[in-house]
Every structure is written in structure tokens, then in C-alpha cells.
Amino acid sequence: MITEKTTQTAKLEKQRVRALNDLLVAECKKSDANLDSIKDILADGADIHYKNSIALYWAVRKHNFVLIKSLISFGALESCDNARRHISKICDYKFSDEVEPAFFEILDLAHSRVGDFMTLFTPYINNIAVHGRLDKIKELQTRYHLTETEIVSVIELRVVFEVVINNFSEMLAFIEKHKVWIDQKSFDSAVDSGELVVLDYMLSLGQYYTPSDSAIAKAVFDGYFEVLERLIEKGYNFERKALFLEKACRAAYDKGLDRLQFLLKHGYALNDTYKGKSIFEHAIEDKNNPLLDYLKTLPSYKLTVDKLA
């Protein structure tokens, strides 16, 4: 039978453990974290995985390699995917060639504890791939007996884009040996992020996909005119879709009128509508003064006002 005293004891114990957990995190945040204190706090019952292993997160963020190794030895990586992700992100925080040996010591220790988890290597692989360092990719492959396919499988699309943009030809050849990365998704990504160099590379290989409306809408809103022109050269037609007109008009508020002028140059008309209203009506309703001022300079302005009157 659970008594009031038992309930109160359990409540106090919960509070005690929470206080220990907070002490653990506070100590790991320090630049001069005391390992003996941390060991005592854990021995008293603190949870090393508290709040998704935030203690380890802070050790990683501070690049405190001695503390990181200690926390791993205390079991920080066991049964905790978040902890492994924290370790892998050491290279995200002020990483340099100088700290690389210490980083590999951590990886070696982590690897010995949790086995062959690609989670440990993924950020580092992307970090060196984005700089075209195929030599370091090969070193990692040899050190941890990874296959080329395993390595390429975790290289992110944004990294592939940077490899193309920076003309890291050897790295690109290595990636393309094991991955078909050009598809509808990557094509849309090149369009909506305005990556003309990447788009031209895709087109040079004969890879053309009809871009999604969402990709075109973002390209219009952000003013990626060179990308849009290239698509038009390949036969793309805006079809006077209302979504693109809306994006151009909304962009006029603080990004400029060139988006609307671009669409007018490529088939749109001032009497086109979106959401059931004219450009002029939306400009008034949205208090889009830059667009209104522009419309007032056009010969069709008086006709539009008369029609609405």
C-alpha cells in the first residue's frame, strides 16, 4: 500500500536527482570543469543522459576533450543516440586541423564503445567533403574500415552543391561513382536556392526536370533571375500562374519591383489576378506603397482606377 510518507519520500528523491542533474550540467558548462566533482555527482545518482545528454553537449561545445573522454568512460554513449550525435558534432564547433588528432582520439574511444555507427562520422565526412579533401576521406576510410559507398551515402546534398560550385572535380567524381544525386528534388533545390552553377552542371549532363511550382515561387520571390532565365531557355513557361504573380507583388513591398517587372516581361499582364483580385486591389489592401507608386506611373493606372470606381 502506498502511503503519504512513501509518496513524499519519492517526491524528495526526484527533487534530489533533479538537483544533481542540474549540478552536473552546470559543472560541464565550465571551462575548468572539475572531473572529481563530476565523478562524485554521478556517483550520488545524477543521470548522465539527463535532458538528451546535455552535459556531453556542453563538453563538446567547449571542446573540452578531457571531459568528453571522461563522460564517455562514465557511460555517456551507451543506449543514447543523442549522445552519439553530440560526439559527431565536435567538428561543428571551431574545428581545425590542430584539434583533429584529439578529435580522432574521441572517435576511437566512442567507436570502441558503440561500434560502427555512421552517426559518429557523418558531420566530419561532410566537413571535409565540402572542402574537397578527398585525401582526408581516404584516411578516414582506412582508419575505420569504411566503404566508399558508406561514406558517400551520408554526404548531404548541400555539400554536393558546394563541391560543384567550387569545382572540386576529384571529390565530385568520388561522389558520383557511388550516388545518383541529380533528381527532381535536387533540381528543385538548385532552382529555389538560386544555384546557377549547379543548375548549369545538371543541364550540361542533359538532366532537366520540370521545376515544381514551389521552387519557382521561391526563385521569383528571391529574385533569382539568372536561374529563371536559364529555365526559360530550356522551354519553361510560367503559364501566368497566380502563385508566381502573388510572390512578385509581395516582394515589391521590401525587395523591389524587379520581380514583377520580370514576370511582365515574360508573359504576365497588369490585369492578371491572384486570389480573385487585381494587382492594384491587392496593393491597396496590403498597403503595399512601393507597388502602388509603381502602378501610378503606368498608363493603365487611370483605366484601372476608373474601372474600380
DSSP string, 244-257: HHHHHHHHTTTT-S
What digits encode the pLDDT tens for the residues 13-54? Answer: 889 999 999 999 999 999 899 999 999 999 999 999 999 899
Closest C-alpha among 36, 34, 41 to residue 19 = 41
The single-letter DSSP state of residue 278 is: E
What residues contact residue 141 under an 8 Å CB cut-off, 6+ apart?
Answer: 147, 148, 151
| Strand, helix or coil for residue 136 | helix
The pLDDT, as a whole number, for residue 268 is 95
The pLDDT, as a whole number, for residue 309 is 44
Residue 282 C-beta-side C-alpha neighbours within 13 Å: 21
Closest C-alpha among 122, 25, 114, 28 to residue 78 = 114
Closest C-alpha among 225, 202, 285, 287 to residue 253 = 287
**pLDDT, one tens digit for every residue, the chain (309 residues):** 556 667 787 788 889 999 999 999 999 999 899 999 999 999 999 999 999 899 999 999 988 999 999 999 999 888 777 888 888 778 775 667 777 888 889 888 888 888 766 888 888 899 999 999 999 999 999 988 899 999 999 999 999 999 999 999 999 999 999 999 999 999 999 999 999 999 999 999 999 999 999 999 999 999 999 999 999 999 999 999 999 999 999 999 999 999 999 999 999 998 899 999 999 999 999 999 999 999 888 876 655 555 544
CA separation for the pair 99, 89 (Å, rounded): 13
Q: What is the DSSP string of 66-123?
A: HHHHHHHHTTTTTT-HHHHHHHHGGGGSS--GGGHHHHHHHHHHHHHHH-S-GGGTHH
CA separation for the pair 289, 158 (Å, rounded): 37
Task: Burial-class residue 32 by CB neighbours within 10 Å (0-12, 13-18, 19+).
Answer: exposed
The answer to whether 278 and 251 have CB atoms below 8 angstroms apart is no
Beta bridge partners of 278: 273
CA separation for the pair 62, 44 (Å, rounded): 25
CA separation for the pair 189, 157 (Å, rounded): 9
- As given in the structure block, the three cell numbers for residue 166 are 567550387
Beta bridge partners of 277: 274
End-to-end CA distance of the chain: 81
CA separation for the pair 132, 125 (Å, rounded): 11
The pLDDT, as a whole number, for residue 111 is 83
The average confidence (pLDDT) of the chain is 90
What digits encode the pLDDT tens for the residues 141-179? Answer: 998 889 999 999 999 999 999 999 999 999 999 999 999
Residue 277: its H or E element: strand 277-278
pTM of the model: 0.83
